[in-house]
Amino acid sequence: METSGLISELERCFPPDRLLQRPAQMAPYESDALTAFRARPAAVILAETQAEVIQAVRLCHRHAIPFVARGSGTSLSGGSLPVEEGIVIALNRLNRVLRLDPAQRIAVVEPGVINLDVSRAAAPHGLYYAPDPSSQLICTIGGNVAFNSGGAHCLKYGMTANHVLGLKAVLPDGEVVQLGGESLESVGPDLTGFFVGSEGLFGVALEIILRLLPKPECYRTVLAAYDSLAGAGDAVAQVVASGLLPGAMEIMDALAIEAAEAAVHAGYPRDAAALLIVELEGERVQVEAEFAHLLRVIEGSGPKTVTVAKDDADRARIWKGRKSAFSAVGRLSPDYLVQDGVVPRSRLGEALATIERLSRTHNLRVANVFHAGDGNLHPLILFNGRVAGELERAEALAGEIIQMCIALGGSVTGEHGIGMEKRQHMRAMFTTTDLEVMAELRRALDPGEISNRGKMFPDGEAPALSSHGVHPLERQGVISRE
């Protein structure tokens, strides 16, 4: 790629301290949280306004140079990996809450706003923002939108897509569009839902309208310890079968417990093979009635111990251990890969048994931390990248876990996205027709594939239409061009 012309124009638009070009300046941007992938961009733009983002996108389009929008870089799938010799548009400085309307229960924010800061801004009004990824202390709303992030409480409240009412975005050709609006009710195609989860392939979100919820009046949090992962998994099935809908259900295995205890001293029982965290929330009368029911179900599932959070501080301690688990695993291993497959809840026990078997086969430890309520697995595969062959073994194990998820009727990803990491598994989950339709949608908005090029599709680029350019659905008589 010839970038000199673009760089010359960018130098006229951005001061040197916000147009990074030296290798040392760009080093932090060469990867995201999946550090197994690295690439060096031609330059990094530190944008401060929406107008600057729009200008940068239009210049990239004019010069046919690919760009990647990036927030805090917490992506675990290589989704914000730079394109080699492309441009990175960093959005962290677009971090304003533009408007917060407590009457309408909405917040209008820029993409660089930190997830937890939305709830902090809404707290004086008795409101909060529900999606709560483990990285919510640092991840940005723009990144949450790109990957349709979830979190521990997505079981009850859904993913990011369920909380984005509308957004303003700049498309890859520089056109600025408004999708959706401030109402819970929309007319016509759900273009907002179309954009959320597109992993940056459709452009850059500039303003996001978020739905806020009333802060629950009451929480009841239960921590149950089990002698086996299967026991914790069976308890999840029993809670679901009881008719309860907790705000969250999370499981951690022995390795994750060990890591969390070393990092934050959450007070977890160290002799447990697995922990189950179940949290009820809502109006006090309802929660207390459900809590009595929940305790009966949990106690009937054969736990070693059952602990109930006494107050808000105790609840925060329990959740601090769970929220810190990913980073805490770094105390057990110099490197790790995080997977993100999904299996039906009814097959959780089978999935966990398979992961244990694969761990032994590949001679690599696996720490399991996952959203048990919706079957979203987060196995952390521990390895040492300095030992020859260990990274390759870890990647092979990760691939077999993903294939298992597909075979059990699940998905390759729950919330981390496809990015670079899971591209090769797309053909196992989607048909050729599926991928061709995705490709046509991609090219309809970005014919040159300059927006986050190389992500999601199996070969790095959207596949060409088969049958000499005839749309696959047209061949089947589903659509007509007349």
Q: What is the pLDDT of residues 337-374, one digit of tens each?
A: 999 999 998 888 889 889 999 999 999 999 999 998 88
pLDDT value of residue 478: 37
| DSSP bridge pairs for 211 | 106
pLDDT at 476 over 60: no
Report which secondary-structure segment, H or E, holds 238: helix 229-241
Phi, psi of 97 (to 5 degrees): -85, 105
Distance CA 146, CA 415 (A): 10
**What is the rounded average pLDDT of the residues 66-89?**
96
The C-alpha atoms of residue 122 and residue 219 are separated, in whole angstroms, by 19
pLDDT confidence of residue 272: 96
What's the mean per-residue pLDDT of the chain?
93
Q: What is the pLDDT of residue 468?
A: 42
Whose tokens are 């927030």? That residue is 71
What pLDDT sits at residue 467?
47
**Residue 389 pLDDT class (50, 70, 90 cuts):** very high
The answer to whether residue 198 scores a pLDDT higher than 60 is yes
Report the percentage of the chain scoring pLDDT > 70. Answer: 96
At 26-59, the pLDDT tens digits run 999 999 998 889 999 999 999 999 999 999 999 9
Q: Write out pLDDT tens, residues 93-104.
A: 999 999 999 999
**pLDDT value of position 230:** 85
Joined together, the tokens standing for residue 201 give 């392939």
Domains and CATH numbers, the chain: 4-90 (3.30.43.10), 97-214 (3.30.465.10), 218-327 (3.30.70.2190), 333-423 (3.30.70.2740), 430-475 (no CATH)
- How is 357-379 classified by DSSP, letter by letter? HHHHHHT--EEEEEEGGGTB--E
Distance from C-alpha of 153 to C-alpha of 133, rounded to nearest angstrom: 9
The pLDDT confidence band at residue 466, using thresholds 50, 70 and 90, is: low
User: CA Rg, the chain, in Å?
Assistant: 23
One-letter amino acid of 430: F
Report the amino acid identity of residue 262. Answer: A
pLDDT of residue 474 exceeding 50: no
What is the pLDDT, as a whole number, of residue 95?
98
Digit-coded pLDDT (tens) for 370-386: 998 889 999 999 999 99
Q: 18 pLDDT band (50/70/90 cuts)?
A: very high
**DSSP 8-state symbol, 441:** H
Q: What pLDDT does residue 473 have?
A: 41
Q: How far apart are CA 406 and CA 363, in angstroms?
A: 23
User: Among all chains, which residue has been given the structure tokens 């990094």?
Assistant: 44
What pLDDT, in 10s, does the model give residues 265-294? Answer: 989 999 999 999 999 999 999 999 999 999
> Per-residue pLDDT for 464 more than 80?
no
